């Protein structure tokens, strides 16, 4: 696997392109084209990347950004978001490898990770439990449910 790199402001445009490409299938599966990752602007994304509590990581292959994840740290908790893999690179283990690498690079103060995905996101619904995340609850979102997960980290 290619090296896991920290992403920042200079990567915002390419990250936004990757994010939109990856979320199209999620939007189709949930019949919801208004997903926040599809409507986020370049300025909004750049602001998130400048947040000192944002740890954004990516994988580049031959110079191309093929996978990315953001983790927002708030105290001893962190929210995992926008785990994306380029559509033509999926099913190669990049999402799994990237998420595990990102978790390993978090500050030692983090004891709990949380994330959510849509109920029709079959890949993530298999991936997260396999990586130690457990479902905590579901919340309604339009005509589907968001599935919330949590992972405790013993430090």
Ranges of each domain in the chain: 4-152
Q: The pTM is what?
A: 0.93
**Mean pLDDT within 81-98:** 95
Token digits of residue 120? 């029709």
pLDDT of residue 81: 95
**Mean pLDDT within 60-78:** 96
Which has the closest alpha carbon to 121: 91, 88, 146? Answer: 146
**Mean pLDDT within 73-89:** 96
pLDDT surpassing 90 at residue 155: no
pLDDT, tens digit, 9 for 90 and up, residues 45-67: 999 999 999 999 999 999 999 99
CATH superfamily of 4-152: Gcn5-related N-acetyltransferase (GNAT) (3.40.630.30)
**Mean pLDDT within 25-35:** 93
pLDDT tier for residue 1 given thresholds of 50, 70 and 90: low
């Amino acid at each position: 696997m290619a090296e896991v790199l920290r992403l920042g402001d200079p990567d915002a445009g390419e990250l936004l392109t990757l994010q939109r490409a990856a979320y199209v299938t999620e939007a189709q599966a949930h019949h919801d084209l208004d997903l926040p990752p599809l409507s986020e602007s370049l300025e909004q994304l750049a602001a998130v990347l400048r947040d000192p509590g944002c740890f954004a990581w990516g994988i580049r292959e031959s110079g191309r950004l093929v996978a990315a994840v953001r983790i927002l740290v708030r105290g001893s908790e962190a929210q995992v978001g926008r785990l994306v893999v380029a559509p033509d690179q999926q099913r190669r283990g990049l999402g799994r490898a990237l998420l595990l690498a990102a978790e390993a690079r978090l500050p030692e103060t983090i004891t709990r990770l949380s994330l959510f995905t849509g109920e029709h996101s079959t890949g993530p619904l298999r991936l997260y439990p396999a990586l130690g995340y457990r479902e905590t609850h579901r919340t309604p979102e339009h005509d589907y449910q968001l599935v919330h997960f949590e992972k405790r980290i013993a430090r």
